[in-house]
Structure formats: structure tokens, C-alpha cells
Amino acid sequence: MAPVVSGFSKLSKADKIKWLAEHHFNNDSNATNTLITYWNSDDRLQRLHDEFTENTISNYYLPFSVAPNFLINGNRYTLPMTIEESSVVAAASKAAKFWQTRGGFKAEVLSTTKVGQVHFSFTGSPERLQEFFIQVKPKLLKSVAPITKNMEKRGGGVKEIELRDKTTDLDHYYQLHCTFGTADAMGANFINSCLEQFAQTLVDEAKKFESFSETEKEIEIIMSILSNYVPQCLVKASVSCPVQELPDSKQLSSLQYAKKFVRAVRIAQIEPYRAVTHNKGIMNGIDAVVLATGNDFRAIEAGAHAYAAKDGTYKSLTDAEIKDDQFIFSIEIPLALGTVGGLTSLHPLVKLALQLLGKPNAKKLMEITAVAGLAQNFAAINSLITTGIQQGHMKMHLMNILNQFEATNAEKEQLIAYFKTNTVTHSEVVTQIEKLRS
């Protein structure tokens, strides 16, 4: 068991690694060398990475890939995707290629409102609290004027402040429910700064409010924080084509394909066990773009899954239908994204990713990211209702298995050729490697 360490964050990076090697890696030089191997050879870049977070000892690389041929609202894009899962980029690219000759993807931002809340306790009269709120609301807005000044110039700012009585859910619990516009920024720091100032103003003004009793003047702030549930920061994306333009094979006619596809989506709308995996596939595409563009994929994940359960049952984020001989496939999802602030102006690859997309504003990035999720879901369902998911996935996974066994280039060439006509399974790869090596 490693000893308790004090002042770890103040140690140099070399000393942090030395401590880890001594107490966790049994002084294994391979562990130390691995950490050092992933340092950036450019000292300036490495210092930049070191300062992104606390106690950095190395860099953890993920592949930075691209998926071309995305036709979105009449414009062609190559999407940056940061993800380690082998089949995701290939699937997205395949879906993009399929739909580019069928009108491409349509995408539209429905709203961009974000939410933050001041949570507080109040033990007095709800009526007097409401009276106080009406009086203090202008002062709340005035108190954040220095914070909102620049954001307002960019078209953002505080949209509304509501007093919400939540005492039926929790004794003495109230909240200021606040909505914001943050222009091209994700806006977390902006929102949280406003909320903390609202909280301070609320407390200060309560002490001066004459209608309050002495106990009522003591409003207790519990916390002030933005919400990653953004059901009013929505984007919709869709594809459509005549049914006869869908895949047609001996196994499934175009109409049978369409009906089976719609039914597969319907299952994900009524069966949570399927819905979770269905939506995970959507997030494969979305997270990859979110990561590549320096946004917070954890916030996006939380908000998306909350939205999937907004009606009381967790279900699919996509929908499909056949209407007047047209196949229509769509997604509606909350995406609080930004193209300024955070890592967008710091991380070199993030800047490159945004340049690749034509330096989009936040709304354009919302549209592009939603399309990535829709394309990924189309590719997954297409595989599920035809060949099955494993055929394509395992062929993409083949290289990972070969690398696990440290296959030589010659071995890789022979085994890739073999598995072009044979099913890839881990056990079969092992068998074929052993045959080659024997």
C-alpha cells in the first residue's frame, strides 16, 4: 500500500514519476520509460499540456481521425473525430457516402438556451418571498452587469430569472431558475459567475427587506451551479429519400429494409435495454466530434441521456418513419457546444479541427455534431438488420488483435488477406497466427 503523500502537486514532474515508480511500479524502468515516451518532444507544447490540468505526468493519446463526404445543408464537410473504437470512423464515413447522393443531411438548431440555478433554503412565508423576489429581480440583473457586458455584445446574456418553489419535493427548498444565452461559447464559467453573484445579491438584499422577519432575512444558499441538462439547447438533424433508393438485396427488398429499419428504431423507443446501446452508438459519433473540437463530452453525454428519459422512460434519441413512400430518419438532441473559450484557442489539434470544419460558430458545430450522431446510428442499424454488427466490427478490430500478438508486417499481410473471406473472431485469429508461426 502506497504511503500518504503531502505536497504531491508541488513536486516536479520527474519527482512525481519517481514517487509513482517507487510506490506503485516496483521501480520498473519500463513504466517510467513509457510515461516519458509519451511526452511531447516540443517543450512548449508539453508545457501547454502540463498546464491543462493538475499532476500531469504524461500525455494519453487518442487517434485523431477524419470522416469525409458529409453533405450537410448543401455544404460538404470532413469531420474530425477523436475516438479509439475501431469501427466508428469507418461507419460514419460509409453513412456519409451513402447519403451524399440522396440529398445529404439536413440540420437545424431549434434553440440555444442554457440553464443555471441558485439553490437555497428559506423557512418563512412563501408569499413574502415572492414579494421580495419581485422587488429584488432588477437588482439581481444589475448586479451581474459587469459580468454580462461582453457577452451581451456578442448576442448573449441573462434571458430570464424565475423563483421556483420546490418545497413539495424538499422542505424549505427554493431555487432561482435562470436561463442564459452564451453566443459561441459553451459558457460554463460565464453562467457560474453570474449565478454566484445572484446568490450574493439575494443574501445581501434579504437582510434589507423590511417585510421579512428577522429569521426570514437569513436566506441560506446551498449551491449555485449551471445545469448540464439543456432541453432548450436543441438541434435536429435528418435524412430522407424515396424508399426505392434504400439498399436492395436478395435478402431484403428496399421496402422490407425500410420497414425493418423503422421497426428496429421503434424497439429502441420502447425497450430501455436496447435504447441504452442504441444511444451509446449515437454518442460514439457525437463524442468523437465533441472531443476533437475541445468541448466537454461528459456534459454532452449527461445532457443527452437525461433528454432520452425526459418522458419518464429511457428511449431512443432517433426516430424513423415511412411517409408517402419516403424514408425519414432523424435525431433531436440537446448539445451545449462552444467554438470560443476553453481549449478551443489553446489546444493545437482543436484549433486544427475547427479550421477543418471551416471555423464554424456554435450553431454550425451543433448541426455538424448532431449529424455525426445520426450517421453513426444509421450505420449501426444498417449493419444490425442486414449482416449483423460483428462482421464489420471484427474486421476493423482485426488489427488490434494482431498488434496484441505483435504480428510482423508479413504476418499481418497474410492474415488480412485470409480474413477478407473468413469470419474474424479472436479465437480464429489466434489459430491462424499459430499456424503461421508453426
pLDDT of 391: 58
Structural domains for the chain = 8-50 (no CATH), 64-111+231-386 (3.90.770.10), 114-226 (3.30.70.420), 392-437 (no CATH)
The answer to whether 393 is a known catalytic residue is: yes
Flag whether pLDDT at 146 surpasses 90: yes
pLDDT band with cut points at 50, 70 and 90 for residue 425? confident
Nearest C-alpha neighbor of 353 from the set 289, 297, 285, 283: 289
The answer to whether 280 is a known catalytic residue is: yes
Quick: pLDDT tens for 122-136: 999 999 999 999 999
| Candidates 296, 315, 363, 397; catalytic one | 296
Q: Which amino acid is at 4?
A: V
The answer to whether 216 is a known catalytic residue is: no
Nearest C-alpha neighbor of 91 from the set 380, 331, 330, 385: 380
Which residues neighbour 13 within 8 Å (Cβ) at sequence distance 6 or greater? Answer: 50, 56, 57
| Candidates 13, 97, 137, 280; catalytic one | 280
| Candidates 50, 85, 301, 411; catalytic one | 85
Flag whether pLDDT at 166 surpasses 80: yes
Side-chain-side CA neighbours of residue 205 (13 Å) = 20
Q: How far apart are CA 381 and CA 375, in angstroms?
A: 10
A 10 A CB-CB count for 125 gives 14
| Candidates 94, 114, 393, 397; catalytic one | 393
pLDDT band with cut points at 50, 70 and 90 for residue 435? confident
pLDDT band with cut points at 50, 70 and 90 for residue 392? low
Flag whether pLDDT at 421 surpasses 90: no
The answer to whether 85 is a known catalytic residue is: yes
- CA dihedral for 384, 386, 388, 389, sign (positive or negative): negative
pLDDT of 14: 93
